[in-house]
Structure 1
């Protein structure tokens, strides 16, 4: 994924500003919304974005809905919101869907400096981008395009509580001293990052943002907490992957465990290569997973988890950078 080969004069000026850290022009924010099979939720998400002050400079919707009638309804919902861009999604998982929207933003660099990612059931506060702008304006110029902002949880008993999190040895989210992961639906990324990294499309769903953060941090980016980035998940526990269940596991659970296997192997083989930690992770993962599945009468799902993980692609060099 590369930047457009020909830059407009505005884009050239923007690139120079980024090189020097000059933000005399106020930062511009784009939003990538990924959707599938939830027309009403998408409409509510876009309605709320229209209430933001300042508004995002660009909103891109990438639609993974398999049913043509649903895609048509989503396209109509987007058309009712002036300036919002509709894209047919690749239907290869959430990472590919996000990358599809990112590609459009990379072709529109004159319109945005930062990206946020929203699922279709997310509502953000009206001052979301005002909080991001204020934070970046207070950030040292040389770090503005190397800093990712993240807010608090969009659901649960700790709604909007902003605490530093990291990915544990076993690739679970844990509290830490320094933020090393983000709340993907309450975050802001420099657009420039995505000329260097993409979401890894070997991950169908689950912890994909944490894997991106592992690579991002090694490139010198940092993550800072911003409590003003508040979002609300309106369909907690009712995602499209929770509706299907096989042998004791929902599709959502299977995908999350598959992603954890892939991320752990990639982490200790490619991102943070360490043979001892790699061996320890594999031993722990399969030992823990065997017990976890046995207690649920779902041992038959171990093979589908491994198959869904695409873990062999780590060894064949087919993962994202």
Structure 2
């Protein structure tokens, strides 16, 4: 049987399991740029010659196919025979109100059955638990409620198949719906302007946080735009995705033949092959781009400076990672700030090429200044002794400096935790974070991942020696900006930053941060509020994917029609607890640390043992009724008809869509097969006013049909 042959090949190492590695994907020892194409569903079921199709797909440079259903064994065997990974999906109604639980139960049954049958097949690489839940239904059900149901499906599947990659295929209209526990951020993007696509990818890197960003759909309809335009745009988009450091790119779709909502779709042609199986120009264009070798940036001369005191084994791990950096070898300088554990001697013995500077204990800033004074490179890159640099760290920073930035930095990612205590600390508040003014320019980058032009460094006077253990990077970045210098952000220039190994060490660190902030407050009083909170101009990114939680405000646009609906928040949510350690006592430890750490930090900063102020979400009043009726019109047409009848459109931040004489309504549409649409109406105020618009009888849920109107 072919599956046995395939399994044997996988065990022999001919097929490597795809896995997440920081902000990228990896197969074995190689970093993978995932080249994927969507496949089906087709009218009449799977094509008879799956093997032939898959060989053509592989020959075009693709490594994976994305399905919108569970595959049969024959499909997985054929994919493995062609060397293709498969991303599957449970089959369940996703464009309906699933608060009653029936649709979610269907999803769980589909997941359980598919994983029981094929979860260990070597060709199965991952699962998208859902795809583009419509924005109006997300608003109807509640964004946070909907996200938690997606996360529950991911947890349900991961418990049964932990080696697979788990994701939700999102789209720009609900970019706030990112599940916190997914392995990657997957976004379906359809943009016809390459420049706009490039700009949006830079935004999506921040939406993704620490994890890889994969474009899970991108295409153009050749029927409306022409085959030449389709080929040109797909080639440009695939190239831009590589240039912008995306972890994967998915072409939508393999064939013009497509079956959706119970019908064959004949009025569009997104495929790389036509309905007769003939290649379109787009296939050759994509094949050519996939065959290109990305151009490496010109690498300037870097000096990497690592300051340590009693660094021990973590310092040696840091230096080993720096020895594996891609590109020209940088000058590496270690400043030993009065170690008593023999760290300096071990560096001297095991890393003879490293320039070692010994000094009496003087503090972190003084050590960094000593390293900078001894450096010969035009660019100074700082990291900490508890960090391990990704092999492309300096390559990615070089791209920033090639664009003209005066300084640059990137993310610092916690490595996979070895145990539950490390997992809790990795998700606790107070980790080093970057602060962004927009998608490219930073207000602050942490000192564990900070590079600066030598001239800019000495122009602002280097680091302030008053800062001994922390706060020096904040002070330095603020002085750079005050001098008119600009800090760029490289989303893929990351370092692995080990957090404190125990809770006591973590809390001591937070106390140290608080003492450093007290020095910052004295030096920059206008940059702090009377309560002692820093007044950042930008947004604090914590490494977590951006998503709607608690009191976050979502910009839906008038009547929920904005094409790009995002979260407005000054600080993003914290990282989710690692799924492998998400046990009740670990969650209790995380809750304890999350309560205690900011209060200890505030005590050291201001002398007051107070916690952060958490804004409460604005309460949405209970509706007076929920109505429904079958209506074949699109939601946009229904809204237009209500407006023509004298209803007034809501503002972008309102929880309702339309208002008339004090009665407010929220409208959503369920999408069913064969074009059937069910209109859902939530009413606050006079229910009969809404009933007159739809001609439906309904019983009010909580108040009389002619009950009191809400205040404006």
TM-score by length of 1: 0.62
Gaps of 5+ in 2: 1-296, 415-425, 534-595, 608-712
User: What is residue 455 of structure 2 aligned with on the other side?
Assistant: 192
Task: Answer yes or no: is 1:219 the counterpart of 2:219.
Answer: no
Deviation at 1:302, TM superposition (A): 7.2
Partner-residue secondary structure (3-state), 2:335: strand
Q: Deviations over 1:3-49 (max 9, x none)?
A: xxxxxxxxxxxxxxxxxxxxx98411111101121221111111111
> 1:259, 1:194 → 2: CA distance?
21
Does the Cα contact within 8 Å between 1:31 and 1:56 map onto a contact in 2? no
Task: Answer yes or no: is 1:130 the counterpart of 2:400.
Answer: no
Task: Answer yes or no: is 1:180 the counterpart of 2:443.
Answer: yes
Deviation at 1:152, TM superposition (A): 1.5
Q: How many residues align?
A: 232
Structure 1's 149 and 75: CA in aligned 2 closer, same or farther, altered over 3 A?
same
Deviation at 1:86, TM superposition (A): 0.9
> 1:102, 1:88 → 2: CA distance?
14
Structural mapping, 1:109-188, within 5 Å: 112-137=377-402, 139=403, 144=404, 146-155=405-414, 156=426, 165=435, 178-188=441-451
Counterpart among 516, 531, 535 of residue 259 in structure 1:
516
Q: Deviations over 1:131-157 (max 9, x none)?
A: 2223333x1xxxx3x521111132246
> 2:472, 2:478 → 1: CA distance?
10
Considering only aligned residues, what root-mean-square deviation do their CA atoms show, in Å? Answer: 3.6
> 1:134, 1:82 → 2: CA distance?
30
Does the Cα contact within 8 Å between 1:90 and 1:100 map onto a contact in 2? no
> 2:345, 2:524 → 1: CA distance?
38
Deviation at 1:53, TM superposition (A): 1.2
Moved more, 177-186 or 94-103: 177-186
Counting helix residues as a fraction of each chain, which structure ranks higher?
A: 1
> 1:206, 1:152 → 2: CA distance?
17
Counterpart among 198, 201, 204 of residue 468 in structure 2:
204
Deviation at 1:231, TM superposition (A): 0.5
Larger Rg: 2
> 1:125, 1:98 → 2: CA distance?
21
> 1:113, 1:228 → 2: CA distance?
22
Deviation at 1:97, TM superposition (A): 1.6
Partner-residue secondary structure (3-state), 2:524: helix
Does the Cα contact within 8 Å between 1:152 and 1:227 map onto a contact in 2? yes
User: What is residue 43 of structure 2 aligned with on the other side?
Assistant: none
Structure 1's 164 and 123: CA in aligned 2 closer, same or farther, altered over 3 A?
closer
Does the Cα contact within 8 Å between 2:516 and 2:605 map onto a contact in 1? no
User: What is residue 285 of structure 1 aligned with on the other side?
Assistant: 532
Partner-residue secondary structure (3-state), 1:130: helix
Does the Cα contact within 8 Å between 1:36 and 1:65 map onto a contact in 2? yes
> 1:300, 1:131 → 2: CA distance?
37
> 1:217, 1:114 → 2: CA distance?
18
Task: Answer yes or no: is 1:58 the counterpart of 2:331.
Answer: yes
Partner-residue secondary structure (3-state), 1:54: coil
Deviation at 1:259, TM superposition (A): 1.2
User: What is residue 80 of structure 1 aligned with on the other side?
Assistant: 350
User: Taking CA–CA contacts closer than 8 Å with sequence separation of 6 or more, which of the two structures ends up with the larger relative contact order?
Assistant: 1
Q: Deviations over 1:204-262 (max 9, x none)?
A: 2222201111111111211111112110013x1239x954xxxxx95423321121121
> 2:511, 2:399 → 1: CA distance?
40
Structure 1's 55 and 238: CA in aligned 2 closer, same or farther, altered over 3 A?
farther
Structure 1's 53 and 257: CA in aligned 2 closer, same or farther, altered over 3 A?
same
User: What is residue 64 of structure 2 aligned with on the other side?
Assistant: none
Partner-residue secondary structure (3-state), 2:332: strand
> 2:482, 2:512 → 1: CA distance?
26
Partner-residue secondary structure (3-state), 2:368: helix
User: What is residue 38 of structure 1 aligned with on the other side?
Assistant: 311
User: What is residue 14 of structure 1 aligned with on the other side?
Assistant: none
Structure 1's 43 and 266: CA in aligned 2 closer, same or farther, altered over 3 A?
same
